[in-house]
Amino acid sequence: MFNGSSFYEFLLLPITDTRELQLLHFSIFLGVYLTALLGNGLIITAVACDHRLHTPMYFFLLNLSLLDLSSISTTVPKSMANSLWDNRAISYWGCVAQVFLFVFFMAAEYCLLTVMAYDRYVAICKPLHYRTLMDRRACGKKAAAAWASGFLYSLLHTANTFSTPLCQGNVVQQFCEIPQILKLACTDAYLREAGVIVVSICLIWGCFLFIVVSYVQIFRAVLRIPSEQGRHKAFSMCLPHLAVVTLFVSTVMFAYLKPPSISSSTLDLVLAVLYSVLPTTLNPLIYSMRNRELQDALRKRVHFVLVHQK
């Protein structure tokens, strides 16, 4: 499955060699990481503990928060540790695990965002059939399919990447990512990856087109709503989700499929942060900002914790 390269570790390039800037990097990433943990943790707790939120939309939101926590925990803690202790090393199998888990969680999240778009489509465009199409069993199957799709996709990508002979050194960017590993291949690994790239394009654009078509139908239905307040509420729930999907797809596509000639350390790092850190941090804010039910549940959980601490 894997090529068993002669080296036993990879070296992660630091953002900077200046000790003060390394500590600044640690502080910023620590703040972002704690924000993501707090936001997603509160959503998971609120949805799990409040029976009023045991609906398909919040069930998928709970899964999304789990994936967000998992994906950001795959890369950011290691990056923070390296900056704090001025260490660049990650073991070979640690890099393999980081690639597998990161691709797994990100692919599963993308599939789940597609399922969530379908859930909103059924709720707005086919409200009379919503309970039938989105019952508990159907929701469980859709969520399981998203997780399973991410697992199989990641397994395919990881196995194909690390079975490629590596002889161009062992230095990669801040995170272990497939494009960075392929740069170390002895031959033009992108040709070897052609089949997997085709699968990636089909998955990414297939899900993206499904989301776009779903939201076109949603917007057409929303525009027929006579109440201006109702239209505003529906748009405020749909547009942020669509913006997150667009940001996710555009950065991932550019990061993974951009020509090597326009690659640079700064650009690669910015793209990695955009699609691996920013969405996971903003998702809790986006999905709770105008959601009164979720806000009420969060307030109750926070109040409960504060009371019991006293």
pLDDT one-digit tens code per residue, 141-165: 999 999 999 999 999 888 888 887 7
pLDDT above 50 (res 183): yes
Greatest mean pLDDT among 38-47, 73-82, 110-119, 245-254 lies in 110-119
Average pLDDT over residues 289-301: 71
219, with CB counted inside 10 A (0-12, 13-18, 19+), is middle
Q: 89-122 pLDDT, tens per residue?
A: 788 888 889 989 999 999 999 999 999 999 989 9
Distance CA 8, CA 20 (A): 30
Q: What's the chain's length in residues? A: 310
Q: Which residue has the higher pLDDT, 100 or 278?
A: 100
Q: What is the pLDDT of residues 202-241, one digit of tens each?
A: 888 888 889 889 988 988 888 887 777 777 777 776 776 7
Cα(267)–Cα(55) distance, integer angstroms: 41
- Name the phi and psi angles at 172, rounded to 5: -125, 180
| Separation CA 6–CA 274 (nearest Å) | 33
Question: Given a cut of 90, is residue 285 above it in pLDDT?
Answer: no
Q: How much is the average pLDDT of 181-194?
A: 69
Q: What percent of the chain has pLDDT over 70?
A: 80
Q: State the pLDDT confidence band at 59, using cuts at 50, 70 and 90.
A: very high
Closest CA relative to residue 72, chosen from 108, 32, 122, 45:
32
Report which residue type is found at 77.
Answer: P
Q: Are 77 and 33 in contact (CB under 8 A)?
A: yes
Contact 16, 174 (CB under 8 A): no
Give the angle subtended at the CA of 251 by the CAs of 191 and 190, to the nearest 5°.
5
Least confident of 50-54, 105-109, 253-257: 253-257
What's the CA dihedral at 121, 125, 127, 130 to 10 degrees?
A: -40
Contact 207, 284 (CB under 8 A): no
CB 97 within 8 A of CB 155: no
Per-residue pLDDT, 154? 93
